[in-house]
A = this chain, B = another copy of it.
């Protein structure tokens, strides 16, 4: 085989796995970090910030967009990218649940 048996798992588990998969590459972590490092949204200059070719970055941005981790709005010729706080919330809530359950355990 090779494909993951996602149909065997719950929607919740698949959804969280998809979010983490979107964050599972250093280039995508670096993109998120860069978007956070400036005060406003970033219009256009992400390609110059990373040591990857433009089509590769475009592909990584697409994955982050598909996972709703970032949002992109067209501004003339460029595209402005921003973090989507709602998705950050979702991930934080997941770890809040983990933290809560860990309190009841012996480890």
A residues bordering B, Cβ < 8 Å?
Answer: 4-6, 8-10, 13-14, 16-18, 20-21, 23-30, 32-33, 36-37, 39-41, 50-52, 71, 82-85, 88, 91-92, 95, 98-99, 101-102, 104-107
Q: How far is the CA of A18 from the CA of B24 in the complex (A)?
A: 6
Which B residues are in CB contact (< 8 Å) with A32?
Answer: 98
Task: Determine if A13 and B26 form an interchain contact, defined as CB atoms under 8 angstroms apart.
Answer: yes
User: What's the least CB distance linking A42 to chain B, in Å?
Assistant: 11
Task: Determine if B101 and A85 form an interchain contact, defined as CB atoms under 8 angstroms apart.
Answer: no
Given A41-B107, A51-B5, A107-B83: A24 touches B24 (CB 8 Å cut-off): yes
Task: Determine if A5 and B52 form an interchain contact, defined as CB atoms under 8 angstroms apart.
Answer: yes
